[in-house]
Structure 1
C-alpha cells in the first residue's frame, strides 16, 4: 500500500517523466509512502486504474500533457467512479493554462505551474485531514537551487532501458507566440557544477542516453561548452539530444561539436519559418544569414544528426511560402526536416490572430489548425498528409537516393506535394504502409517520369542499404539477374544523416 501514487501516460515506453521524479524527490517525509507508476498512451484505461488502485492510494497525482489529456480525463473518471474517496490531483502544462479544453471536472485538485513545493504541501494537508486549499492551486515558480533534484530517482531499469531526461535551466528568452515556453521569458539556471555532478552520478550508474529538455541549450555558451566537454572526455558510446536555436554557434562551440562521433549527437533545430514577415507576425526573431551559415556548418563539418522544425499554418503563411521554406532548407541541410502542423495551446497568444487570418482550430487535442483565410480545410488536410508521407519517405532515411532523384530539379515542395497527393489516392491511407509497399508505390509513380530500370535500381539500392533486408518481389521482375545485390551495412543510428552526405 502507498498513500501517494504519481503517474502519467508517456507517449512511448522508452520515455520517462522528469516531472514525476521532481515531485517524488520533493515529498520529504511523505516519500517513503509514495510510488511512481508510468504508463503509455492508448493503453486500457481501466487496466491502468486497476494497477493504480491496487496500491490503495489516498492521493493520485497525474501529469497531464497534450498527448495524454483525453486518456487522463477518462482515467480520472474511472478512478473516481470506482474509488470516489481517492483524491485525484492534476498538474502539468495541459491543466496550467485556460481555457481547459478537456473536461477534468471530476479531478479534486488542479495545480497550475511548477508543483514541486505545492504538491508536497497539498499532500501533507490532505493526509493530515486539515486541507483548506482551493480546488485550483496557482503554484509559483520554484527556486531551482532550493529544491531536491530528481536524478537519484531514476531507477536502474530506467537507466538501462529508457531515455534519461535532464534540464540545466528553465525558461526561454524568446517570445514565439505558438510556444508555451514564451510565457516564462526569464531564464533560471542551476549551478553548472551542481548540474554536472548530477550528470556524473547518472553516468557512473550506467546512463548513456541523455535528452536535455532545455528549450535553448546553446543560449548560454559557457554552460553548453562545459557540458559538451564533459561528454567529449568519455570513451564509451553515448547519445545526447539537445534543443538548439539556429543562429548561435560561435567558433568555440563549433570546434567542440565537430569532435563528436557519428551517432552520438542529435540537435533539434527550431526554424518554424524562414519568411521574415511571417516570423515578425509571431514575434520570432530570425537572423537568416546566421541560420544559413550554421546549418551549412552543421551539415558539412559535423556528424551531428539534425531534426529541423518547419510549421504549416502559421498566421500569414501561405502554402507557397511554406514551399519556399522547404525548398531552401533542403539546400541548406542534410538533416531531417520535421514538418509540423500549427497547434493553438492554451496560454499562448496565438488567438490574437484568429479574426485577422480566420484561424480555426480543432477543440480536441492536439488542437491543430483546421483552416485559415489563406489555406482551406481541404488544402490543410492535404498538407497534413504531406507531412505524414514526408516522414515516411524522406525523414525515415529509407529512400535517400530515390528522393534525391525526385528533387533533382530543385522543386522539392512541388514535386513531393504532387507525390503525396498521388500516394493518398493510391493507398487511401497514411498509416501501416510497409517498406516494400512504399517502394512499389514510388516505383509506380516515378516510372512515369524516369526510365523504369534506372528508378528500379535506385530504389533497390535504397531498400537494400541495410543488411538483412530481402529484395522486394516486384523488383526481382525488373532487375537483371546478374545484378550485384551485395550492399554495405549502414548502422541505424546514423544512416539518415550519413547517407545524405554521400
Structure 2
C-alpha cells in the first residue's frame, strides 16, 4: 500500500473512527490506502516492522493524549530505518502547541484540526508533486454534506469483536475550559436520514453495540428522538436480539418528550454518560461551564428511578477554585442521587484548552508529560492531590466494579467522601499499591476494613461474600470502554 493510516488505540476493542473517516474521504487515493491499527504497549520494533512490511510511501498517524509518547518512539525509529517514508501527523494532541513537541519535529508534515479534506490533498501533493514546502497544514472544515461516511469500512471482524464508534454530529456549542470542544464554534449535524441509513446498514451486518461520540447528543431533541426511535424499533422487531447504545447527555436538558422515549427502553439497552464535573457554581463560572445544577440533579434522579438506563456520571477533581471540601460536597451530593457509576476524574491540561489561563491565579501545577494531570493547586497541595488520585483508583476497584454492590453502601454511610477517603488511606497504607490487587485479596481487605470500622468478623465476611459470589457467578458483559476523542477527565 502506498499510504498507511495508523494509530495506537488504548485497547484492542477500540476501532478508530478517525482513521476510517480519512480512508472514506481519500478519493482517488483510496485504493492505495489502508488502515493498520495497534494497541499501546506493543513493542516499537514490532510496530515499525509491520508498517514497513507493506512498503508504504506515506504513513499518517493519529495522535492522542494516550498514545503520543509511544508513537513518538515509533516515528523516531521509522525516520532512522526508513527515512524515505513520509510521516504525516494529525489528531487533537498535535493540533495545538505543536512547536514544542518532539514528535512534530521528527515528522515531515502535520495536519491540524479537521483532516477529511486536507490530508488527502496533502498526500496527493506528496506523491504527485510538487511537494509542499510548508510543514504545518491547517485542516479545512468542509460542509458536513461533503464528508463521506466511514461506517462501511468497519469490517465484519470489527462488528463482531469491537466497539463501533458513531457520530450524528461534530463539535459542541459549550465552552467548558477543560475540554478541547471549548474551541468549537458550535455543533455541526450530519444529515439525519443519511446517518440513520448508515446505522441501518451496520445493524443489518450484525452490529449491536453503538457508542455515540457526540459531545451533545440531546442538544437537538428532535434528532435525539429519531435516533432513539431507531433503536426502539430494532428492539421491538426482535426483543431477543438486544441492541446497546451509549450516549453522552447534557445533564440539565431532558424535556418530557425525551424522558418518555427513554422510559421505553428495556434494561441493558442504554448507557448515558453525564458530565457534572462540579456542583460548585463559582467553579463552574470560572471554567465557563453553564449548568443548572438543580435541573441536572433532578434529571439524574429521574433517570435512576424512572428509567432502565445505566448512568455513568463524571466529576473532575482539581478544577480552579475548588478545594477538597467543595469537591467532597459535590461527591456526596452525586452519591445521594445513586447513579450506577461515578467517574472520579483528575483534571488534565489538554493542549490548546483555555484552562491554562487560570494557571498563575490558582497556582495550577500540571505534570509536563502526558496525560498532563494536575499535580497541585493553591487549594489542594501535591500530597493531597495524590490522595485524591488513589481515591479515584480504589473507587473504580470497589464502587464502579459492580462487585461490592451491598458492601459499598455500608462503607459510605452518611458521609460518603470522608468515609471512602479513610478507606483509601488505610488500604494504601496496607498495600502500598493501587494496581494489580487480586480480587480475593481486595475482598479480604474490604472485609478487614469493615472490622476496623466496628463490624464483627463474621458479619463483615458475610457482607462481602454476599457481593462477591453472585457477582462472579452472574458477571454481566462489559460495557464499552471509553476512548473519548477529547479526553477531559
TM-score by length of 1: 0.92
Query: Is residue 310–residue 340 contact of structure 2 (8 Å, CA) maintained in 1?
Result: yes
Distance (whole Å) between structure 1 residues aligned to residue 57 and residue 8 of structure 2: 20
Q: Which residue of 2 aligns with 1:61?
A: 60
Q: Provide the secondary structure at the position in 2 that maps to 1:350.
A: helix
Aligned-partner Cα distance in 2 for 1:161–1:35: 20
Equivalent residue, structure 1, for 2:23: 24
**In 1, Cα distance between equivalents of 2:354 and 2:100:** 16
- The structural deviation recorded for 1:125 is 0.9
After superposition, what is the alpha-carbon deviation per residue over 1:93-144, rounded to whole angstroms, capped at 9, x for unaligned? 0010115564111100000010111111111111113122410001122221
Q: What is the CA distance between 1:368 and its match in structure 2? A: 0.5
The DSSP-based 3-state class of the residue aligned with 1:35 is: strand
**1:155 matched to 2:155:** yes
TM-superposition CA deviations, 1:286-336 (whole Å, max 9, x none)? 201111110111101111111100001000000111111110001112320
Verify the 8 A CA contact 1:69 1:102 in the aligned structure 2: no
Gaps (5+ residues) in structure 2? 480-489
Alignment of 1:208-219 (within 5 A): 208-219=208-219
2: distance between equivalents of 1:423 and 1:443? 11
In 1: Cα distance, 2:93 partner to 2:142 partner: 19
Question: Do 1:122 and 1:133's aligned partners in 2 also have CA atoms closer than 8 Å?
Answer: no
1:432 aligned partner: 436
Cα offsets for 1:438-463 (capped at 9, x unmatched): 11111111102212221111101011
Q: Spell out the pairing of 1:332-411 with structure 2 (5 A cutoff).
A: 332-408=337-413, 410-411=414-415
Q: What RMSD in Å do the two structures reach over aligned CA positions? A: 1.2
Give, in whole Å, the separation in 1 of the partners of 2:119 and 2:96: 17
- Normalised to the residue count of structure 2, the TM-score between the two structures is 0.95
Any unmatched runs of 5+ in structure 1?
469-488, 495-502
Q: C-alpha separation between the residues in 2 aligned to 1:357 and 1:189? A: 37
Deviations 1:139-175 (A, max 9, x none): 1222210121111111111111111111111111111
1:420 aligns with 2:424: yes
**Structure 2 CA distance, aligned partners of 1:45 and 1:493?**
29
Match of 2:134 in 1: 134
The 10-residue stretch of structure 1 (328-337 or 81-90) with the greater mean CA deviation from structure 2: 328-337
Give the corresponding residue for 1:454: 459
Alpha-carbon distance between aligned partners in 1 of 2:476 and 2:209, rounded to the nearest angstrom: 17
Number of residue pairs matched by the alignment: 472
| 1:74-473 to 2 correspondences below 5 Å | 74-98=73-97, 102-104=101-103, 105-234=105-234, 235=238, 236-408=241-413, 410-449=414-453, 450-466=455-471, 468=473
CA 1:154/1:58 → structure 2, altered by over 3 Å: closer, same or farther?
Answer: same
How far has the Cα of 1:185 moved from its partner?
Answer: 2.8
Equivalent residue for 2:476, pick from 491, 494, 502: 491
Give the superposition deviation at 1:492. Answer: 4.2
Q: Which runs of 4+ in 1 moved over 2 A?
A: 99-102, 489-494
> Which whole-Å CA distance do the structure 1 matches of 2:225 and 2:447 have between them?
47
Give 1:353 shift: 0.7
